[in-house]
Structure 1
């Protein structure tokens, strides 16, 4: 009975680690490597199959196999670092399997994101900084600041109402372009294109594109293609939102 309970705990612990990492935007090969290292530390011959939408984990032919679905995916590098740290401590025998599982559950429950107002502020500040990187004029910084903040606010608002990622990104980029257009129209900005490009930069799926390429290079073709497709849809949504304003202005 104890042997079965240990196996169940190991399965739950490994799956929880993989789930947190996948939901936080980790690369597929990193998730598999972390889970297998944790399994080897417990003398378990585990096999895993990880995709962006689910994880299959088995402890062997004669042992149990469990499947978990991944429905939500965000970018939270702090949680990934936390899981990696727990994995290292378990591998080095600093903590037990039970302690690792408890710590993972705490990481899963904790929200490490900054307050909403600070996220919006940082999005606005980064947009203004991107304007200078794109060789825009300094007088356009207030317009880029406002467009970036308004776009990210729209993104969070639509995400709260709808779980369809395409719509939130489309309306966010639409708001960015709309704010930029009115800023130029009323004389608060001069270069419409650079204001729009700077404003949508916080929406660009840079980490998603990077992970797709890294998964493809690591041989995880299914995950790489899936993430690449998701990144393409995000880019298409951003471009569509901007195009609506640019075409009809």
Structure 2
């Protein structure tokens, strides 16, 4: 949806991208909030959350070697961690974790559409009320979208809602986005019709991906986000030349063999592929 060319670079070419300070801080905040709920009720405090920051940062550096060289000096790292503390402080103004007992945290969900792709994702938190009502919660370390520009964020949440609905047979009561960058909470109560429309959109997107795979036309879509793209130097929109991609890589990701590569499209007997 953002850029077909970027989809190719990330999902088919699987080109490496250097970690950014903002994205890495978001990963760290997610890890801290996940583990905060390991503590018993009454002990889920801001101090407890802050105490988790450095241990979880050490774990992140161990599991992703790219994070080791993220900062040039200790002062920059300290300032970055202080920014993470501020985001955690904002979280405690929006929710009281001592009044919550999540059913799931960092839950992997998956469902396969009939004659369509498998849909996968990781949901930050799922709350289930005594009456069975399901709330899907996602944390965002950045700022909320401007009024009138919430569509992309809501599509992500409806995507999660759709997967859970298909997987569990229960329509989520609430979709909730918690923005720590500006302390805003975006909520939506999805209807069955809205999730059915989301499914139609997913099918349409998947058809577009398969068409691009078949023709090799991954059209770049320029926007302000290009300024932060790790692949700008090889993007044709900026005079770059993308690397050659093998038909096998395309087929492995999309289930479609590119036209003129000596083989036809994948058959229904072959494994389904995911959409991201």
> What TM-score results when the alignment is normalised by the length of structure 1?
0.25
> What TM-score results when the alignment is normalised by the length of structure 2?
0.23
| Bigger proportion of residues as helix | 1
| Bigger proportion of residues as strand | 2
Bigger-Rg structure (1/2): 1
